[in-house]
């Protein structure tokens, strides 16, 4: 497993939306919150924060849904206008960042998650690796996840 050459590409199920990531993400981690379970249709989703300027839409069109969080903040969630695949979120409180759904990348070999958030709401059968960077809920800061991702990238290159 080694880091790819950037840009890398991803897209939706119907192939109408294609995007590229021109630089490595800031981290990859699993989110076990109830909304991610609903949006993914699975036990968790793989969140991949990126600098907004490093994501370019190459083709297709996206629609969005503004999801209010308990904190009162709004998260704008983008999906393919044709097939509805959830592609990325824009936390309106930090517009310089996008949180891409890592499973939409074409190649997942290098996107091994470095941690877990919202473990308190995980399905009881999910085993959390205690050696990863884990939080019961929303992390007060993503910095520990970013640092773990930097260490993993250095080990992979």
- Cβ within 8 Å of residue 42, ≥6 positions away: none
Question: According to the binding rule CB under 5 A, does residue 36 interact with Zn ion?
Answer: yes
How many Å apart are CA 116 and CA 129, to the nearest integer?
9
Q: Of 79, 25, 86, 80, give the one whose Cα is nearest residue 54.
A: 25
Counting contacts by CB under 5 A, is residue 46 touching Zn ion? no
Helices (H) and strands (E) in the chain, counts: 2, 11
14 binds Zn ion (CB under 5 A): yes
How many degrees, rounded to 5, is the angle at CA 155 between CA 152 and CA 157?
Answer: 110
Residues written for the chain: 157
Would you count residue 77 as binding Zn ion (CB under 5 A)?
Answer: no
Our CB check for Zn ion shows the closer of 22 and 61 to be 61
- Closer to Zn ion at the Cβ: 23 or 120? 120
* Beta pairing, strands 133-134 & 62-68: unpaired
Interacting residue with Zn ion among 82, 103, 121, 139 (CB under 5 A):
82
Q: Interface with Zn ion by CB under 5 A: which range of 10-18, 49-57, 108-116, 128-136?
A: 10-18
Q: Closest distance between Zn ion and the C-beta of residue 152, in Å? A: 21
Under the criterion CB under 5 A, does residue 83 sit at the interface with Zn ion?
yes
Q: State the minimum distance, in angstroms, from the CB of residue 148 to Zn ion.
A: 18
Applying CB under 5 A, which residues contact Zn ion?
12, 14, 16, 31, 33, 36, 80, 82-83
């Amino acid at each position: 497993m080694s880091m790819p050459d950037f840009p890398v590409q991803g897209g939706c199920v119907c192939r109408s939306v294609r995007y590229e990531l021109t630089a490595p993400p800031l981290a990859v981690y699993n989110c076990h919150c109830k909304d991610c379970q609903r949006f993914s249709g699975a036990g968790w989703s793989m969140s991949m924060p990126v600098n907004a300027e490093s994501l370019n839409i190459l083709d297709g069109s996206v629609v969005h849904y503004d999801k209010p969080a308990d904190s009162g903040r709004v998260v704008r969630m983008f999906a393919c206008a044709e097939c509805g695949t959830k592609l990325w979120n824009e936390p309106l409180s930090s517009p310089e960042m996008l949180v891409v759904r890592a499973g939409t990348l074409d190649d997942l070999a290098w996107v091994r998650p470095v941690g877990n958030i919202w473990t308190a709401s995980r399905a009881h059968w999910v085993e959390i690796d205690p050696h990863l960077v884990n939080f019961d809920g929303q992390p007060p800061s993503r910095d520990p996840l970013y640092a773990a991702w930097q260490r993993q990238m250095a080990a992979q290159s």
